[in-house]
């Protein structure tokens, strides 16, 4: 079973939903001011880091949807959520993955290409889950 403790959920929500978007916005504004007062060449490194921050934001935001959902997995499949909100998927239903290695994020996709789960490597139990995913589904970049 993989599940984030409350303190880690808070940190992940804070970083993904507040810190990264504010960092991206701040770098964009700063870069724009530098272009107006100096030159584009001077602002290029700032825009480069803004682009990295924007990419990180868009890769990690889907993880926020699943941060509080526990996942149990076995040889037959996986269950996302608990109690009456749980969704069960057999490994045959998980048709592919989208692995963002630089961010440590894996998206699991169904046969229609719909994201059914997203997990970050900081999630407790990630290594065991990653091993099962690699065996049952494979990891695509």
- What are the structural domain ranges in the chain? 6-66, 71-136
Residue 135: which H helix or E strand, with range? Answer: helix 126-136
Chain CA centroid to CA 91, Å: 21
Strand-pairing partners, residue 39, are none
Task: For residues 69 and 72, give the distance between their C-alpha atoms in angstroms, rounded to a whole number.
Answer: 10
Tokens of 24: 């991206």
**pLDDT one digit per residue (tens) for the chain, 141 residues:** 888 889 989 999 999 999 999 999 999 999 999 999 999 999 999 999 999 999 999 999 999 999 988 999 988 899 998 878 889 999 989 988 888 888 889 999 988 889 999 999 988 888 888 888 888 887 764
Residue 75: which H helix or E strand, with range? Answer: none
Architecture of domain 71-136: Roll (2.30)
The DSSP symbol for 123 reads S
Please check whether residue 136 is in contact with residue 123, taking contact to mean a CB–CB distance below 8 angstroms: no
Residue 115: which H helix or E strand, with range? Answer: strand 115-120
What's the pTM value of the predicted model, to 2 decimals?
0.81
């Amino acid at each position: 079973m993989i599940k984030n403790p409350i303190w880690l959920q808070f940190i992940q929500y804070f970083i993904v939903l507040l810190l990264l978007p504010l960092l991206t916005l701040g770098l964009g504004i700063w870069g724009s001011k530098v272009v107006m007062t100096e030159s584009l060449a001077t602002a290029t490194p700032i825009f480069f880091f803004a682009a990295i921050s924007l990419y990180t934001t868009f890769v990690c935001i889907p993880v926020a949807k699943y941060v509080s959902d526990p996942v149990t997995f076995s040889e037959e499949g996986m269950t996302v959520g608990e109690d009456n909100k749980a969704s069960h998927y057999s490994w045959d239903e998980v048709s592919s993955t989208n692995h963002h290695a630089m961010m440590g994020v894996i998206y699991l996709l169904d046969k229609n290409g719909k994201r059914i789960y997203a997990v970050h490597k900081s999630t407790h139990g990630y290594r065991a889950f990653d091993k099962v995913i690699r065996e049952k589904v494979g990891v695509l970049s």
